[in-house]
Amino acid sequence: MPDLDPAAGPDVVPAADAGLAHDPVFELHQGGKMEIASTVALNGPVELSMAYTPGVARVCEAIAADPQLYGDYTWTSNTVAVVTDGTAVLGLGDIGPRAAMPVMEGKAVLFKQFGGIDAIPICLDTTDVDELVETVVRLAPSFGGINLEDISAPRCFEVEERLKQRLDIPVFHDDQHGTAVVVLAALENAMRLTGKYHDTVRIVVSGAGAAGVAVTRILLAGGYRDIAVVDRAGVLHRDRDDLNPVKRALAAETADTTGRWGSLGAVMDGADVYIGLSGGTVPEEVVASMADEPIIFGLANPMPEVHPTVAHKYARVVATGRSDFPNQINNVLAFPGIFRGAFDVRASAITEGMKLAAAQALAAIVGDDLREDFIIPSPFDPRVGPSVAGAVAEAARRDGVARR
């Protein structure tokens, strides 16, 4: 999903037609959005001899003797690789690694702005799962964490899982888990407003790609039980013979336990919550069939599955992925703080407990200011990053993955 301004992505005018010299977007991107800066001064031969040869050799020898010193005396303890193959970029789809670079640069800027984390965009010219995994494994010694970005489903699931098995640093696919964390936080506050209960609320998740799968899994981990996940062919359930392993496993935890199946319209009838992660448009008559005071999160960009003007006719709480409507579900609320917290304790992984803690911390920031148009804080709220980071670090210690 897009991050800071989802509405802007697909509307960018192609370069050939843009009148580049007068387009402020292109002017902002001229020469890229990043640079590398030194943290030490080289004002003379003394500094040079310490920063480089011969002084640097002493640090190298110390790390060779005790690899645990690696994070103390290199940039790795505060540096993440933002890795993509360019196959699922914003709402633009498979545009390739070169066209994906402006987005990855933007992601790196967000890491720095909202988490104080250095990030390096890495756009790989391969879509082969084995090559992606092997390349990242070989690059991993240069980084303290790996943020996977805009890799299409279902390959993204395998890439992430294999990297988690092979690396002892945090691996996080933001399109999945960043979205999931923010959705859970927003839903928890929407539930407070409507007085609905975890064990009785009926949820429909439209979309079984990366975000849909992760959102469903974090909702299950958060105590929600009655969830129907819908793709283009209808509800995921055991009797379908067209499900890949990821969808089949998700069906076993959702509709297979509740007996729900059929079309989107069938499961929306009487549902309390709709979470759109698929695109397309939900007919108004289907929206009207939901339970009283429903919660509607239409997160497709630039056009939500249920436009807010329609959603507000029926819903108590409405959220989108856009910055021009209230309650923006924005990944930047999650990933900088999650990595900040993981780095602060030198975590070896990002656990489910750390994701849940991030969601709970986000929800708590709203506090007594909760209202229908304020269920999630702004990315520019200065409490967001530190609150999420602190909760994540504490959860890492509880889960036994903290190394300091």
* Residues forming a β-bridge with 273: 203, 295
Which of 107, 196, 247, 355 does the annotation list as catalytic?
A: 107
Q: Alpha-carbon distance 95 to 146, whole Å? A: 22
Check the annotation: does 244 bind a ligand.
no
Q: Alpha-carbon distance 198 to 223, whole Å? A: 6
Q: Alpha-carbon distance 133 to 367, whole Å? A: 41
C-beta pairs of 159-166 under 8 Å, 24+ apart in sequence: 159/129, 159/132, 159/133, 162/129, 162/133, 163/133, 163/136, 163/137, 164/349, 166/133, 166/137
Check the annotation: does 231 bind a ligand.
no
56 to 50, 67, 73, 140: CA distances (angstroms) = 6, 16, 10, 22
Tokens of 240: 């379908």
The answer for residues whose C-beta is within 8 angstroms of residue 52's C-beta and 6 or more apart is none
| Closest C-alpha to 341, from 389, 287, 373, 377 | 389
Which amino acid is residue 78, in one-letter code? N
Q: Alpha-carbon distance 84 to 173, whole Å? A: 10
Taking the CB of residue 258, how many other CB atoms lie within 10 A of it?
15
Check the annotation: does 94 bind a ligand.
no
Q: Is position 52 annotated as part of the catalytic site?
A: yes
Q: Is 285 exposed, middle or buried (0-12, 13-18, 19+ CB in 10 A)?
A: exposed
Check the annotation: does 330 bind a ligand.
yes
Q: Is position 313 annotated as part of the catalytic site?
A: no
**SS3 assignment, position 98:** helix
Which of 52, 112, 197, 313 does the annotation list as catalytic?
A: 52
In contact, 240 and 263? CB cutoff 8 Å? no
Q: Alpha-carbon distance 130 to 255, whole Å? A: 32
**SS3 assignment, position 143:** coil
In contact, 267 and 274? CB cutoff 8 Å? no
* Residues forming a β-bridge with 81: 120, 146
Q: Is 146 exposed, middle or buried (0-12, 13-18, 19+ CB in 10 A)?
A: buried
Residues belonging to the binding site for a divalent metal cation are 149-150, 175
Active site residues: 52, 107
Residues belonging to the binding site are 149-150, 175, 301, 330
Residues belonging to the binding site for (S)-malate are 301, 330
